Amino acid sequence: GENVEQHPSTLSVQEGDSAVIKCTYSDSASNYFPWYKQELGKGPQLIIDIRSNVGEKKDQRIAVTLNKTAKHFSLHITETQPEDSAVYFCAGIYSGYELNFGKGTSLLVTP
Partner 1 sequence: KAGVTQTPRYLIKTRGQQVTLSCSPISGHRSVSWYQQTPGQGLQFLFEYFSETQRNKGNFPGRFSGRQFSNSRSEMNVSTLELGDSALYLCASSLDTGGSYNEQFFGPGTRLTVL
Residues found near partner 1 in the complex (CB under 8 A): 31-32, 34, 36, 41-46, 49, 51, 89, 91, 93, 95-104
Cβ proximity to partner 1: between 96 and 111 the closer is 96
Q: How far apart are CA 22 and CA 82, in angstroms?
A: 21
Alpha-carbon 53 to chain mean position = 17
* Contact partners, residue 60, CB within 8 Å, separation at least 6: none
* Shortest Å distance, C-beta 35 to partner 1: 12
Q: How far apart are CA 93 and CA 15, in angstroms?
A: 32
Cβ proximity to partner 1: between 80 and 86 the closer is 86
Cβ proximity to partner 1: between 31 and 74 the closer is 31
